[in-house]
Amino acid sequence: MNRVKKRYEMENYPLSSIPSAARSKWLSLTMVWAGFVLAISNYLTGSLVAGGLNLSRSFMAIVHGNVLLFVGALFMGLIAQDTGLSTAFSSRYAFGVRGSKFVSGLISLSFIGWGAIGIGLAAESLSHAISLSDGWLVLVMTILFGLTAIRGFKGMLQISSVAIPLILFISFFGLYQVLQDRNIHMSMLLLIEPSEARGFGATVSIVVGSWIAGAISSPDILRYALRKRDVFISLLLALVIINSIQMGIGAVMGTAVGSSDLPHILGHLGFGAFGILLLVFMAWTTADNNFYAAGLGLTNFMNNRNRMLATVVSVMLAGVLALLGFYHYLGEFLSSISLIFAPVGGIIIADFYLNKVGQINHDLFYQGVRWKAMISLMLGIALGIWIPFPMPFFISFVGAALLYTIIILLTRKERIA
């Protein structure tokens, strides 16, 4: 038991299943998940949503988007609880060992980008409050946030346990103070209409796009689940409730200030010292999850069990991107990853339930590229681009899953014949 625990703390099983001795119940999973979703970018997402809809419809779009994320993450999480494998490693079944390297590379680059966005947003926002340049703040935060990611699940759980109560308290208290000081009432904000209206479906896409990578990569956390109900409870609390609340606060902030620029919003609202703590802890608890997920993807990409080294590489790359101001390209980044991650998740889910009984067979663990999955992935992305639909990620997800299912069933019949 002690050997299992020690190995779990150091390696976190990047290329193997999580044993039962290293698994956790819903409370620990929710703490890590909540630390992940309580991100600075959620305020930005909420303010972007409110920039195209009035406040009441913004709340509806936020809840709709997070429920869709919950459904996708639930399927992925149940697979993870069953197999104990990360997203990158479980993609070997559908895409083959070499094919999964392509998927793992996309996953790693996505989370490195998210880590850079979180650090960049925090650094620029903090630079308005303290006399340090963006560059120095990026350097300090990259090193600090990387330390808990290198420790893995245990390190992320420890910082989240401290940070989450503070984040929730400061968020609600700060928003209340701002509205009170400015004599703004919610009834007034609900009457404000956006200057440039946006469709409801397109707005839901912004919400889903902001967390589609997290939903599809949920096995990286949920493979630690002891029971299936732990998966359900932790996702419901974190993705549907906590994520919606924070995005809703971002929508209120954006409406009150009339801007979707996060550093401008926080500087204009004057959160003070509490705001500094809020920014640091939100950036920290999300960035370490991003670095951890990126490290798991790189271990599969390199087929190397040294997760700690892969995590260090991810941290360094994210720091460089943050210094280059990567967060300024958030809109383009969101639209790209939603079309890529959605079909990957659809194919992994379809493959698991088509071949669930035989997944333990080594012959399914194909060493090359499974072109059926790769073709379905490319066609799923193409469908999301070509079909004029308000939620292109949904077309990509369903299209790739259906195409893959049809191809598998047709080739099965050919083999039987």
Q: What is the token pair recorded at 271?
A: 């959160």
Inside any domain, residue 188: yes
Inside any domain, residue 244: yes
pLDDT tens-digit map of 115-148: 888 788 778 777 766 777 777 888 888 887 877 7
DSSP class per residue in 260-272: --HHHHHHHHT-H
Radius of gyration over alpha carbons of the chain, in Å?
Answer: 21
Residue 368 to residues 13, 83, 305, 329, 373: CA-CA distances in angstroms? 23, 21, 20, 35, 12
Q: What is the token pair recorded at 66?
A: 């997070």
Inside any domain, residue 316: yes
- What does the pLDDT profile of the chain (417 residues) look like in tens digits? 444 444 444 455 666 677 777 787 888 888 888 777 777 777 778 888 887 788 888 899 999 999 999 998 998 888 888 888 878 778 888 888 888 888 888 878 888 887 888 788 778 777 766 777 777 888 888 887 877 777 766 666 666 677 777 777 766 776 776 667 666 676 667 667 776 777 787 788 888 877 887 888 888 888 888 888 999 999 999 889 988 988 888 888 777 766 555 555 555 555 555 666 667 777 777 777 778 778 777 787 776 667 777 788 888 888 888 888 777 766 666 666 667 778 888 898 888 888 764 454 444 456 778 888 899 999 998 888 888 777 777 888 889 999 999 988 888 655 544
H helix or E strand, kind and range, residue 29: helix 26-37
**Distance of alpha carbon 115 from alpha carbon 185, whole angstroms:** 35
Q: Which pTM does this prediction carry?
A: 0.76
Inside any domain, residue 75: yes
pLDDT of residue 96: 85
CA torsion sign for 403, 75, 359, 353 is negative
pLDDT of residue 416: 46
Q: Which residue has the tokens 């996060």?
A: 262
Inside any domain, residue 134: yes
Q: Answer whether 267's CB lies under 8 Å from 127's CB.
A: no
pLDDT of residue 361: 47
Q: Which residues form the domain of 168?
A: 24-328
pLDDT of residue 302: 73
pLDDT of residue 338: 67
Inside any domain, residue 167: yes
Q: CATH number, domain at 209?
A: 1.10.4160.10
Inside any domain, residue 43: yes
In total, how many domains does the chain have?
A: 1
Question: What phi-psi label fits residue 85: left (phi over 0), alpha (psi between -120 and 50 degrees) or beta?
Answer: beta
Inside any domain, residue 252: yes
